[in-house]
Structure 1
Amino acid sequence: MTVRHMRRASLTAATAISLAFSLQPLLITPASAQWIVYDPSNFSQNVLTAARELQQINNQIQMLTNQSQSLVNQAKNLASLPMSTLAQLQSTIARTQSLLSQAQNISFNVQQIQTAYSSSYGTAPTTGSNATLFAAAQTRWQNSVGAFEDSLKVQAGVVGNIPTNSSAMTSLVSASQSASGALQAAQAGNQLLALQSQQLSDLVAVLAAKGRADALEQARVTATESQGAQQYKIFSTRGGYQPGNVTMFSTN
C-alpha cells in the first residue's frame, strides 16, 4: 500500500467517524424530546390556503372600492343644478302678458269682440243721422289705430326679451356641459326647454297682436264699404225734384 493510498484511507475513516458523531444526537435522544417532522405536502397546502385567503381579501377590498365609487357617482347624479332661470322666464312671460292685457278698445276677449262687432262692425244701419254714422266710422278707425299701436308695443317688448333670453341660454348651455351628474344635466335640459317654450310664447303673442291689428283693419274697411253702400242706397231712393210755382216778381 502506497502512502497515497494510506492517506486516502485515513481521510475516509475520519470522515466516517465525524459523520457518526454528528448523527449521534439524533440517534440517542432523551425520552422526553419530540420529533420535528417536515411535511412538504402540508406546507404547500398551507401556502395555497394563505394565498387564496389573501386573494379573497383583495377581492373584498376591490369590491368595497367599487361600491364606494358607485356611491360617489350616485351622489353626483343626485346633485341638483346650482342655478335656475325659472324666475327670470316667468318675469319675461309676465311682461309679455302685461302688454297683451293693455290692448286698447277691443281686448283679447271673445265676449268683448262679439259685442264690438255687433255694435260697430255689423250690417250698416238703414236709418240714422249722418252724425251717428260718422261716430261709428270714427270708432272703427280708432280701434284699428289702437290695434296697430298695441302690435308695435308687443313686438318691441318681445325684441327687448332677446338679450335676457340669450344670457339665460348661454348660462344653461354652460351648466349642461359642465354638469357633474345626470340630474344636473336633466335639469339644465328642462330649463332650456322652458326657455324655448317662453320664446314660442313670445312668438305667439306677436302673431296674435299682429293678427288682431290686421283683422280689425280689414273689418273696418269692410264695414266702411257696407256703410257707403247703405248710404248710397238711402240717397238714391229719396224722392226726386218736384217742380213748383215760383213767383219771381210781385205785382201790385
Structure 2
Amino acid sequence: MKTRILPAALAAVLSGALMFAQPAAAARIVFDPSNFVQNTLTAIQTLQQLHNQITQLQNEAKMLENQARNLASLPFNVVSRLRANLALTQRLIDQAKGLAYDLAKMDRDFARLYPEQYAATISGDQMFRDGQERWKNALNGLQTAMQMQAQATKNLTDDEGVLADLVDKSQSAVGALQAMQSTNQLLALQAKQSIQTQRLQLTQDRAASLELARQAAASERGREVRRRFQGSGTPYTPYPVNFYNNQ
C-alpha cells in the first residue's frame, strides 16, 4: 500500500508545483532591446519635429513684428514748419514796392521809366518825376533785399531746431518706413533752404539791377538835358535842386 501511496503523493506534489509555477511564469517581463531603441528614436524624432515647429512659429512672429515696425509711420512732420518759413520770405517778395515781379507789368514800367532814348516831346517835369520814381525803385529794391536777409537769418535759426529734431527722430526710428520718412524730411529741409537761398539771391540781384538801370537812365537823362540845353528839341527848363541829388 505504501508503494502505491508514494507515487500518488509525489504526483500530487508535482501537480501542485506546476499549478503555482504557471502564474509566476506568466507575470515575468520580457525586455526587447531592438524595440526599445526604435521607440526611443521615434520619441526623439517627434520632439525634434515639435522643436522645429516652435522655432518656425517664433521666426514667423518675429517677421510679423519686423513688418509692423517697417510699416510704422514716423510720428513727426516738419513740412508745415518749413512751409511757414518759406511763406514769410514769399510775403516779403509779394509786398515789395517799385517795379513789380510780374513779368508783363515789369516790362511796361521798365520801358516807361528806363527808356533807351527820351522822346523830344517828354517834358522836363516828366523827366523829373521819372527820375524820382527810379530812385524810389532802387531804394525799395535795396530795402526788400535787406528784409529778405533779415528773414533768412531768422529762418536759419529755426532750421537749426528743425534739423536737431529730425536727427533725433531719425536715430530712434524703429523701422524702414520711419527711417525713409526721416530722410525725406531732411531732404525737404535741404530743398527749403535752397529755395530760400534762391529768393535771397533774387532780391539782391534785383536791387543791384535797379541801381544799374537807374544809372543808365540817369546817363540818358543827362544826354537829353545837354541836347536840349544846346537848343535842339523842347527848350531846356531847370530842374529842382533835389532832382539832381536823387538821380
TM-score clears 0.5: yes
Partner Cα separation in structure 1 for residue 93 and residue 119 of structure 2 = 36
Residues 14-59 of structure 1, C-alpha deviations (whole Å, 9 max, x = no match): xxxxxxxxxx8899526x9587543211110110011011011011
Change (3 A) 1:60 1:26: farther
Q: Counterpart in 2 of 1:143?
A: 137
| 2:176 aligned to which of 182, 186, 191 | 182
8 Å CA contact retained: 1:126, 1:234: no
Partner Cα separation in structure 2 for residue 124 and residue 25 of structure 1 = 149
How far residue 135 of structure 1 moved from its aligned partner, in angstroms, is 1.1
Residues 182-203 of structure 1, C-alpha deviations (whole Å, 9 max, x = no match): 1111111111111111111111
Structure with greater helix share of residues = 2
Which residue identity lines up with residue 115 of structure 1 in the other structure? Answer: R
Change (3 A) 1:138 1:96: same
- SS of the residue corresponding to residue 29 of structure 1 reads helix
Q: Counterpart in 2 of 1:161?
A: 155
Change (3 A) 1:64 1:238: closer
Q: Counterpart in 2 of 1:99?
A: 92
Change (3 A) 1:26 1:198: farther
Q: Which ranges of structure 1 fall in alignment gaps of 5 or more residues? A: 1-23, 240-252
Partner Cα separation in structure 2 for residue 80 and residue 126 of structure 1 = 67
Give aligned-pair identity as a percent. 37
Q: Counterpart in 2 of 1:59?
A: 52
What are the within-5 Å matches in structure 2 for residues 228-247 of structure 1? 228-238=222-232
8 Å CA contact retained: 2:141, 2:203: yes
Q: Counterpart in 1 of 2:80?
A: 87
8 Å CA contact retained: 1:137, 1:224: yes
User: Which has the larger Rg?
Assistant: 1
Partner Cα separation in structure 2 for residue 150 and residue 103 of structure 1 = 6
Residues 79-132 of structure 1, C-alpha deviations (whole Å, 9 max, x = no match): 111111111111111111111111102121111210111111122323222111
Q: Give me the TM-score of the superposition, normalised by structure 2.
A: 0.81
Partner Cα separation in structure 2 for residue 51 and residue 224 of structure 1 = 104
Change (3 A) 1:133 1:193: same
Which residue identity lines up with residue 171 of structure 2 in the other structure? Answer: Q
Q: Counterpart in 2 of 1:249?
A: none
How many residues are aligned here?
Answer: 215
Change (3 A) 1:27 1:148: same
- Please say if 1:120 is aligned against 2:113: yes
Q: Counterpart in 1 of 2:211?
A: 217
Q: Counterpart in 2 of 1:72?
A: 65
Q: Counterpart in 1 of 2:239?
A: none
Q: Which ranges of structure 2 fall in alignment gaps of 5 or more residues? A: 1-16, 234-247
Residues 226-251 of structure 1, C-alpha deviations (whole Å, 9 max, x = no match): 12112222333549xxxxxxxxxxxx
Q: Give me the TM-score of the superposition, normalised by structure 1.
A: 0.79
Q: Counterpart in 1 of 2:189?
A: 195
- SS of the residue corresponding to residue 138 of structure 2 reads helix
